[in-house]
Each structure stands twice: as C-alpha cells, then as structure tokens.
Amino acid sequence: MKVLAIDTSTPTGSIALLEGDTLLAEVAVTSTQTHAQRLMPAIDATLDMAGLTIAECDGFAVTTGPGSFTGLRIGISTVKGLGFATKKPIAAVSTLEALTYQFPSFPNLVCPLLDARKEQIYTALYESIGHMKWKTVIEDCAVETREWLEQIQHLCLFVGNGATVYRELIREILGDLAQFAPSYLNRVRASVVAHIGMKQITDGETADIESLVPHYVRKSDAEIKLEKGVLTNVSKKI
C-alpha cells in the first residue's frame, strides 16, 4: 500500500510517500511562503522523487489538528480534493499523536506540546502500554501553560515546538521529572503521519471526506470576536 501524507499544522510543512514500511520520499520546508503557496509544488516534488503519480497512491493521510487554523484548513482541503478526484481513502491523524508516535518504547508519560500563543499550548498526555501502543491519559486540549505543567507529577518526556518555547518554565516547575526530545524530533513528520494513516486505512478506520474538518480544539479569534459582538448587541436590547 502506498500512502501520501501531508502535515500543515505548523509553519514547517511536511509531505511524505510511504509504501509499506519503506519511506519512498519526504519533503519538509520552513520558509516565508505560506502553505497555500508551497504545498502543491511540494507534493509534486515528493511524487516526482518517488517516480509515482497521484493516481498510483492507494490512500492519503493528513493531520487534522490541533495546530495553525489556516494551515490545517489548507492541508485538509487539499487532501479532500485528492480523495474526491481519485476516490481513494483518507486517514485523519491527530497532530499530537503524530509527535508522540516517535517514542514507542519510552516507559513513562509523553507530553506533546504545540505553542498556541497567548501563553497557551495545545497538548495531550500519553502513556506507553507496549511497543507501538499508547494509552491516552488526557485528550487533546488547549490550556494555559503553567496550569497544565503544575498538574504533572511523574517523569514525563516533552516533545514539540512548545517544548522548545517553554523549556525553561518546564524545568522550573518539574525539575528532574522533565525530559526533552532532541530538537530534530520536535517537528511533526509526514512520514510518521503516513505510518499512522496506513494502519488506520488497513483497519478500515477511514475518514468521511464530506464531513472531514480541522480539529481546532479552541475557537479562533474571529469566532470569539463574533460571539462577543453578538452578546453585546443582545445585552443592548435587554
């Protein structure tokens, strides 16, 4: 099975093509260009390196969040278009799960962190229950960073760009209970997304193309402002 995977959840976009357990090609780019500008050229380059076409892919995988609102929309819209055009299955993969999946044998808690700005993080908590198996201790959420860290009482591995941004705060609060992934594992890799997606497709756990939407976790600034505006207007009428 050949799976094309896309991640646009953070400023570093990533595309990978996986056949079975063999990584055929992977591209990762961080630049001033937007995902909208560079995604399709990156997909074309990945396919070209592997010597394949979109039609030869057996399925697609995409990170659905949490992460950048705009980035997620672009990635998911692109994969939905590919799915509609080829009539091939799509796997929806949690961004935080993809970060955690890189540590199949870590014997303690794994905490993926993505910087959500405004002193908040997107995060979750996982525990290994065997090789390549994890138990979700706490589901994906958006929380205030210090409040989240103060509830962790056990040895924990931190991974993701949030672990870099808040490294000093993590050390301050958790001390020796905090361990950190190496910097080269702090970004979401499309090859990992492809592995997860391939298993989901094989197990029949595919996403419905029409109803597939980003998993934002928290509301956008535009939604918050809109709600505030509606509430203000209502209060004026009472």
Length of the chain: 238
Predicted pLDDT at 218: 78
Domain ranges in the chain are 2-96+189-225, 103-185
Burial 42-79 (b: 16+ CB within 10 A, else e): bbeebbeebebeeeebebbbbbbbbbbbebbbbbbbbb
Query: Looking at the domain 103-185, which fold is it?
Result: Nucleotidyltransferase; domain 5 (3.30.420)
Within this chain, domains 2-96+189-225 and 103-185 share the same CATH topology: yes
pLDDT in tens, 60-104: 999 999 999 999 999 999 999 999 999 999 999 999 999 999 998
User: The pTM is what?
Assistant: 0.89
Whether domain 2-96+189-225 has CATH 3.40.190.10: no
Contact status, residue 77 vs residue 62, Cβ threshold 8 Å: no
pLDDT of residue 115: 95
Helix, strand and coil content of the chain, in percent to the nearest 5, comes to 40, 30, 30
Q: Does residue 66 have a cis bond before it (omega within 30 degrees)?
A: yes
What pLDDT, on a 0 to 100 scale, did the predictor assign at position 226? Answer: 38
Could you tell me which residues are beta bridge partners of residue 29?
13
Pick out the chain residues at pLDDT < 50: 221-238
pLDDT tens for residues 195-206? 999 999 999 999
pLDDT of residue 83: 97
